[in-house]
Structure 1
Amino acid sequence: MINKSKRLTRIALLAVLITVSGAFKIPGPAGTDFQLSAPLAVAIAAVFGFKRYILAGVISSTVGFILGTQTLIHIGIAMIFRVVAGSLVTLVGPVIWAIIIAGPLGSILARIILSEILGQGLIPLLVAALPGIIFTALTAYPLTMVLKGIAEKINKGVGDYVQTTF
């Protein structure tokens, strides 16, 4: 069992990964831009579990809001995405098909809800998100494998060498 400070540090680092990768976006009309953090978010949920993923996501959204890089609409979309994608990966398990469809499903449901909230047509919102949905489906599983490998090395103590060296 890892101690509390290591758990907090991991969650903070995951939040940083989500925040930094979320700064890169595929542009779209008002609130429809697609954060490139989506496949990384799915990978985090698959490797570190729902609780750590959701905590890191909330921290990331809070930081983005404070810095002015996210609006309440962005946060709403992100939270819907997180709950849907994270729940699917958690309920089904981190199997390849769940990892591949979790992000697109989260994005589609977030756009459906956004359409209702804004009173806008669903089709334009989905079309604007399509490049990001495809990107997420193609990259979530490879990112999961990379993140899993890193997590395994850290758990075996490779991270202790780096920690004591610096």
Structure 2
Amino acid sequence: MNRERTVSITPRTLALDGMFTALLILLGMIKLPSILPGAEFQLSAPYAVCLVAGVGFWRYLGIGVCASLVQLMMGTHTLWNVLVAMVFRVAAGLIVSLLPGKKWAMVLAGPVGTGCARVVLAGVLGVPVLPLLGAAVPGMVFTGVCVALLEPVLRRIPGMEQCAREE
């Protein structure tokens, strides 16, 4: 039996998605520095992985697109930034969505998404990919650890229906 899922946009969902978008933007602006150039860590990466697990891939992608559009309008992102962010979102989101409820998949989704984004960035900049990947390793490790710590906390946020259903 093939059941189609209907998506209803309620005022509650719209408000929550606006708050999730604002938090994604704010956490993307906060970067923890590193002693290695290019190895800073964005706090939005672990949040994004937990968000896709909580709200589902398509809703998460919509939140990410809205965040990117706001950042473009504010002038804090370029089209290249948006491209790299969307590569991360799609790669990490697909891993979490295709392996729902798997903690190890959530921990690996951020680093894999970052790796895919760095490969695209290397192609855009025309530079070797290994130095970009090497510089990202500390942030990849930090993302995995943060996801493991952040996921149980974000699971309790109203609006994270999918996480609540999996318990």
Tell me the TM-score normalised to structure 2 length. 0.82
Which of 10, 14, 18 is equivalent to 2:20?
Answer: 14
> Root-mean-square deviation (CA), in Å?
2.1
Q: CA deviation at 1:7?
A: 1.1
Matched residue, 2:66: 59
**Contact conserved, 1:47 with 1:94, CA < 8 A, in 2?**
no
Matching of residue 134 in structure 1 with residue 112 in structure 2: no
Q: Secondary structure at the match of 1:150?
A: coil
Question: Which letter does structure 2 place at the counterpart of 1:17?
Answer: L
Report how far residue 143 of structure 1 moved.
1.2
The ranges of structure 1 where at least 4 consecutive aligned residues each deviate by more than 6 angstroms after the TM superposition are none
Match of residue 76, structure 1, among 83, 92, 95: 83
Q: Is contact 1:26-1:132 (8 Å) kept?
A: no
Gaps of 5+ in 2: 1-6, 162-167
CA offset at residue 85 of structure 1? 0.5
Instruction: Check conservation: 1:43, 1:141, Cα contact below 8 A.
Output: no
| Pairs aligned (count) | 152
In structure 2, give the amino acid aligned to 1:23.
M
Give 1:85's aligned residue: 92
1:100/1:138 contact within 8 Å kept: yes
CA shift for structure 1 position 34: 4.2
The residue aligned with 1:117 is 124
- TM-score w.r.t. the length of structure 1 is 0.83
1:130 alignment partner AA: V
Q: Which amino acid aligns with 2:17?
A: I
- Of 122-131 and 89-98, more deviation after overlay is shown by 122-131
More helix by percentage: 1
Residue among 101, 112, 115 paired with 2:108: 101
The verdict on how the C-alpha distance between 1:72 and 1:3 changes in structure 2, with shifts beyond 3 A counting, is closer
Q: For 2:100 and 2:111, locate their aligned partners in 1 and report how far apart those are by CA, in whole Å.
A: 17
